[in-house]
Amino acid sequence: MAPAPWRALSDALASSDRVLLTGPIEPDGDSVGACLALQRLLAARGVRVDVAGDPAARYQWMPGACDILRDADVAPTYDAVVVLDGDRHRLVPSVKVAFDAARVKGLIDHHASSRHDGYTHAWIDRVATSTCEMLYDVLRDEGVPLDPELATLLYVGAVFDTGGFRYSNTTPATHRMAAVLLETGIDHAAIAARILMERRVVALRATGHVFASAELLLDGALAVGTLSRADQQRLGLAAGDLEGIVDALVYTEGVEVAALLVEKEPGRVKASLRSRGKVDVARLAGDLAPSGGGHAKAAGALRDDTLEGTRQALSDLLAARLAEIERRRA
């Protein structure tokens, strides 16, 4: 049976005049896949529903992606706004205005740091591997037929949030879901290549720049890569070009935590954090910025600071956390 939070949200959406589905700023594969999958379910019920976001080029081929509204074009005219695979603190300003004006404020998410406050309806499943996995269970429960297009959307979310089933969050349920999706005839190898491995030439050069300039701090326990605004402009980077870099950094020998620090604008830095398991980086991200959070092994934060200030703050916080861990072990 579908979980009660979903049933309550589903009923609220069914009675809404217009629904907007969206994700956080710079949505990833799980957010885009979940939004487009839920749009199909709601549209089949006769609900007027739009998806908004500015997904990276690597997601433009996905079924339905061509009709996604740009964030800048979102007006505060929706009766219901639902955030998928993120939270209300990470919405772009135009979407935040629409969210605040909506009668129904929904959340569908699986991040450990997400909270119920600020929503009229919140469905949070911290055990689920991905938001797409949450929707897969609902679709199966409601008897929605899986065609190759819908299976593709769900598979994108599953493969992205498990790193191609390499991450420790992968469960038997994840593999059972993948098996059912593959039975629809989707080209799983092509999907994985596009989502996880394919890069633009400028993204390849950015990866090289970050790797070449990465710093090892705290006796090698922390690997930090940085990209200033000048670097991004010089390299010609766009949204999505930096995906995957921090995941590679964390697998440097001896590293416990890796960070990619990207200057979004003067005095504002995005920190993407990864852990080998010893340190809970969701907690670390929350210490870096009030809206920071995510999973124990993968998290992020937007901090009002310089690159150098963020790097120093991160180093100090991690040093204290490692010392705390050692004291507990003693």
**268-275 and 298-303 beta bridge pairing:** antiparallel
Write down the domain spans for the chain: 4-195, 201-329
Which pLDDT tens digit goes with each residue over 206-222? 999 999 999 999 999 99
| Over residues 102-107, mean pLDDT | 98
DSSP label of 64: T
Q: What is the chain's mean pLDDT, rounded?
A: 95
CA distance 299 to 252: 18
Which pLDDT tens digit goes with each residue over 241-280? 998 899 999 999 999 999 999 999 999 999 999 999 999 9
Angle between helices 131-141 and 29-44 (to 10 degrees): 20
Residue 162's pLDDT is 94
pLDDT value at 1 more than 80: no
Under the banding of pLDDT at 50, 70 and 90, the label for residue 240 is confident
pLDDT value at 89 more than 90: no
What's domain 4-195's architecture? Alpha-Beta Complex (3.90)
pTM for the complete prediction? 0.90
**215-217 and 49-52 beta bridge pairing:** unpaired
Residue 30's pLDDT is 97
Beta strands in the chain (DSSP E): 19-22, 49-52, 80-84, 104-109, 121-124, 215-217, 222-227, 257-265, 268-275, 293-294, 298-303
CA distance 262 to 268: 9
Spell out a b/e string for 193-221, using b for 16 or more CB atoms within 10 Å of the CB, else e. Answer: ebbbeebbeebebbbebbeeebeebbeeb
Which one of 3.30.590.10, 3.40.50.1010, 3.30.420.10, 3.10.310.30 gives the CATH number of domain 201-329? Answer: 3.10.310.30
| Over residues 197-214, mean pLDDT | 93
Residue 330's pLDDT is 78
pLDDT value at 57 more than 90: no
**Is residue 277 classed as helix, strand or coil in its secondary structure?**
coil
| Over residues 128-145, mean pLDDT | 94
Residue 2's pLDDT is 78
CA distance 181 to 170: 16
Residue 40's pLDDT is 95
